[in-house]
Structures are given as structure tokens and as C-alpha cells.
A and B are shown apart, each in its own frame.
Chain A
């Protein structure tokens, strides 16, 4: 039995486009592939242009003094940042971190429902039930926003140059915000990977991701992102890599009915049956559903409502149990693309900035939820 630790490192760069119209398969952009698609479903090796991320940790023979000196150097370099973050470390409710946008003149870009903001990288920490005011159970998934910081901003012009000719050139300009989550000891990573975090001045992150944002949503490198970036009641899309089921048969993989368990059926209980399409075709059609690898694919779960936010531990509770991936895996959360679920009022734009000295409420609930500190439900 494989014991997956909670510090499992998933893929180094989750380069995914927010909108699926950006289908650029060759440059390492993942596309949500479905059954009949001829695009390769998954890549089991890192993309060519990525930096080498982790280094082989060989026994360097450092003395105790030298090791403690290195720790001191790291601590001095990343003042105020800690690693590895203990799993249940609360954030101060009264945040006295000067807003990084202080002194920067506010831009005159108004938020519209079609504006794309930054997203967050979170860890799926599990599922537990909450209850409505009428007593019905709502299973919610907890997504812990781990130490998110903006690493880099790539302007729309620069991004178009990299991506190369797009039919949407200039029409829907999208910049790229590279966001990192889960800071860790720089000694775990290579020098090249650590250099990515120089401009932002944050600890090197275990997870990196891109979010395509519209002009006006850009943020300076080093900006912290919190769970309050979203509000209770907002709808979000959650993207992630589904759990790996391994090599699976057609019954589990495609929901085939198989054959009867008895009544004379010989060695054919969970097989696919016929694969031909007739004499005329005289071949097996491409895309024929057969046993094969299942899972470990990129999927986006659309239009999920946020029911509760815990500002102390930066945890978002979403109304869903179908979040792609297993417990303790990374997911990306961003504003939903479903037009009927766009927010009616402006969310924190470009992001939520904690005001100095203002105390936050620890738990923010959706109005339909029954809070556990309320008395029992009574229909009288």
C-alpha cells in the first residue's frame, strides 16, 4: 500500500489555459481531452522547456555548524516567511502586513462580469458535511489555500509573442499571472528553479500555475493571495488532475454492462463484446472503446458554489464532492466561466487586500447554511 504524504509534489508547472479556446497542444498546454480525441491524453515526462526543479539530495558531508549557518542564511534571506509550513498553521485574523499595492495609484479599470481575475492554487484537504437551515445535508470539499503569492506577470503582448499566432490576436487580450503555492526550503530545489522567485522575493514554491487574466487584473510580484479573494456564494471552477485508476477494463472505464454472470456465459463477464462496425467499414474504427489507462487527466469541475470561508486557516468550502484528484492533491480555483453563474456584484478586484489592523471574522457562512453554533432546527 502506497502511503502518500501530504507534502506530495505534483507536477512542476501546471500550465493550463483558463479558456478552452486556447488549444495550443505543442507548447505544453493541457487540453481537456475526451474519448474520441486524437490528441495525446497524458504526458508522463516533463515538458522540454521546463527547468529542472528538484535536485538529487546526496550526502554532502556538511558539519553541524555549516548546516546551521546555511539555515540562518536562508532565514535571513526570506525574512518573515517560514518553511515547511505546519499543516494546521493559522493566519493572524488581524493582518498587519502592509498591502503591496499601497502607494500604487489605483487603476481606472472597472470590473465587469466578463473580467478574468487571478485564481488560487489550493490543496484538497478532504470532505465533510454541512447542513442547510431545513436540515438537509450538503457534502462540502475543503480547499486549503496554501501560501499563495504572485510570482510573475506576463503582459498580453509578450504572451502572444510566445504563443505565436492566435486568431484572437488583440481582440481578447489576456495577460498571464504566474501564481505559486506552498513555499518550501530552497535547498530542496535547483538553483535555476529558485531564481524564478528572485523578483518576487518569496520562498520557492512547490506548485506553480498560470492564470489568464484580462487587463486590469495584473498584480505585482510578491502579492499574497488569500481565500478572501473569493466570496461566500460565488461560483468557481476547480481544475485538477483526476485520480489515477491505472489500467482499467471497459466496465469501469466506460460503463459497459458486460455479460450475464451465469446462464451459460463462458469466460465473458466483463469484456467489451463486439468491436466491429460492419462489413462495409471492414476495420476497427479509431476511438473504439477498449481497456486502457484511466485517470490522471486534467479535468475542470464547473460552476461550484462556495458555501463557507475560514479566514484563519485560509480554507474554502465548496458544495461538491467531485473535485478532481485525491485528498492532499493540488487544484486550481478560478472564477467560473458559466455566464449564468457570473457574480452579480463586483468581487475583490484585482484581489483581496487585508486592511491593516482590521479584524476579520473567522468563519464566513452562506446564508442558507446552518451554523453549528446555532440552536437545533425547530419547525414550530
Chain B
């Protein structure tokens, strides 16, 4: 099942080097991988609202506004022009706050479908790319087959992005769902958006999935996954020993590695203060539109 704005990513075996356990994220969101650091406190939906208006926190809500930290590609003018185009697009479509682990429903314009629209519901397993190239991968199981579709968030074919369930998971990417039991990737296409309090802290789902027996898509025993139950029960002793050899416990102390993969805080403040007022305006507009549509049961129109 593919459409003009998405791609199917199939299960790929053995494309990684011998010392690598899984694909590297091309863009870090400006925080440490949750699998390396102690897991965050879990919260419920009834928590009191926490003001998330401070500038450094925008890096979680709008991660694609931060440019690729690689200095070879940095140019302030291009980044500024890109941000202007992103804001123009955001005025036409609501790109809501969502995280890896949230369940989204994306509607795209499809010339080949009878209704000229194509709606897909799935769990977000990864957020990739910076600027106008920002995309997300949604996964679901349709007719017994796992389907993943990569959507470019700023593609004008996208008509609507709904967040059905806003939550985070214990890991920064969920590629292990490909090797997990199917119930963890199955979401009904008729799923209704779940109620949530605007502005509340994002709940972290402490779910631990069960993996299917090997062979796997990647060496999950080496990935230090928090969201997987009993990884070691599926692997041999030799694999366990090899995993211990390949561990890099010093990485969490590597300040230079973190510096190279993130934008410094003062630059982040500079970037977000440039776009802050427009983003806030748009937030209010889209919030009102959502409230009206809930009340009148009409779809949001631009």
C-alpha cells in the first residue's frame, strides 16, 4: 500500500555492518537517547498543566526547526529561508506536536483513489530529517501484513495530520516493532482521537513489548532497549557475551559526541525566538479550529 507522498519501507535484513546493531538516526532531537539514561518518570493523563513556553523546550515540540548540526552543511541564510517556508506551510496545515510512540492518522491527496483521499492510521516509529525534509514513519498491520509508510510532513499533498493518541515510549525509535508480536503494531483505522488536556505533560507509556523468536531485523540485544521485555530470553550465551564486548558504556560521558550531534542552547534560543511569535499564533489558530470541529463534528477546512 503506497501512495504518492509515502514510501513503503520493507523489512530489510543484514544491511548493517558487523559492529552495528541498528540504523543510526540521522537527526537527534537534542536530548540523550532514553535507552542510555535512566527512564523518565511516568505520568498519567490527569497531571496538572505544566507550562511549556520556555524557549529551550521548543526543541521537543518543533524538532525539525533545528538544522542538521553537521558544520559542513550549515548556512544561516538557507536555514532562515527554510524556516520561513516551513512557517508558510504550517499556516495551511496543522502539524501537531507528536512523538515517537504516538498514534497518528494522516490523510493525503491521492489522484488514483475514488475519494481522491487516502487515510492511514499508525504508530509513529521514527521522526527523521530537519527543515522541510522532516518526515515520520507510521506503522500498522493491515490484513495481517505489516505496513510502514514514510510521510514528508511538509509535502503539500498532506491534507490532515491528526494525533489520535499523544504519548511517548521508553525508546527514541520503535523499529523493534517489526520483530515484536503483531498486537503491538495493530491499530484500528476507526480509532477515535483520545481525550487529552491541552498543555499537559506528555505521558510516557511504560509498555514493554514481547519479541517474536529470532531471526530479527537487527541485534536488539545490543540496543539497550527499555521498551522490550526479556530480550535475553531469545538469544544464545555467545550472543550475550558478544553484546557485552560491543557495549560502549563510555558513550554517555562523551561530551564531544553530544556536542557534534546537537545545536548549542544559545543558538536554539536564537532560532526559536525568531519563529516564536508566528508559531504561537498558529498554535492558537489550530487549537480553535480543533475545538470548533469537535463541537460541530465537521472536518477542519483550511
Contact = CB atoms under 8 A, between A and B. Distances in A.
18 contacts: A4-B72, A6-B76, A125-B75, A125-B77, A126-B73, A129-B154, A131-B156, A135-B157, A142-B81, A315-B77, A372-B85, A372-B88, A372-B154, A374-B92, A376-B92, A379-B109, A379-B110, A379-B111
B35 to A, nearest CB: 26
Nearest to B4: A135
Given A128-B78, A137-B152, A372-B92, A378 B85 contact: no
B113 to A, nearest CB: 9
B77 A144 contact: yes
Given A134-B111, A137-B152, A379-B116, 4 more contacts: A126-B73, A128-B78, A135-B155, A373-B91
Interface residues of A, number: 33
A376 B159 contact: yes
B229 to A, nearest CB: 37
Contact of B156 (A3, A88, A126, A376): A376
B255 interface: no
Contacts of B119: none
Interface in A305-345: 310, 313, 315, 326-328
A98 B154 CA distance: 41
Contacts of A144: 77
A62 interface: no
Interface in A272-327: 310, 313, 315, 326-327
B299 to A, nearest CB: 13
A198 B80 CA distance: 35
B282 interface: no
Interface string B130-174: 011100000000000000000010111111000000000000000
A376 B81 contact: no
Contacts of B109: 135, 376-379
A131 B88 CA distance: 14
A255 interface: no
B5 interface: yes
Nearest to B71: A3
A327 B159 contact: no
Interface residues of B, number: 35
Grouping DSSP codes into helix (H, G, I), strand (E, B) and loop, the B interface class, with mixed when no group exceeds half, is mixed
Given A126-B73, A126-B75, A128-B82, A372 B89 contact: yes
Given A128-B131, A137-B155, A378 B77 contact: no
Nearest to B152: A137
A87 interface: yes
Nearest to B301: A375
B75 A327 contact: yes
A177 B44 CA distance: 70
B73 A327 contact: yes
A328 B159 CA distance: 35
B77 A87 contact: yes
Nearest to B159: A376
A370 interface: yes
Contacts of A21: none
A328 B75 contact: yes
B136 to A, nearest CB: 16
Contacts of B284: none
A236 to B, nearest CB: 19
B88 A378 contact: no
A379 B88 CA distance: 21
Interface in A30-77: none
Interface string B73-117: 111111011100110110111000000000000000111000010
A355 to B, nearest CB: 25
Contacts of A373: 88, 91-92
A26 interface: no
B102 to A, nearest CB: 21
B93 A376 contact: yes
B302 interface: yes
B77 A376 contact: no
A144 B152 CA distance: 26
A380 interface: yes
Given A135-B5, A135-B157, A372-B88, A380 B116 contact: yes
A88 B80 contact: yes
B31 to A, nearest CB: 23
Contact of B157 (A125, A371, A377): A377
Contacts of B4: 135-136
Contacts of A372: 85-86, 88-89, 92, 154, 156
Contacts of B81: 128, 142, 310, 313, 315
Contacts of A376: 92-93, 109, 156-159, 302
A262 B109 CA distance: 48
Contacts of A328: 75
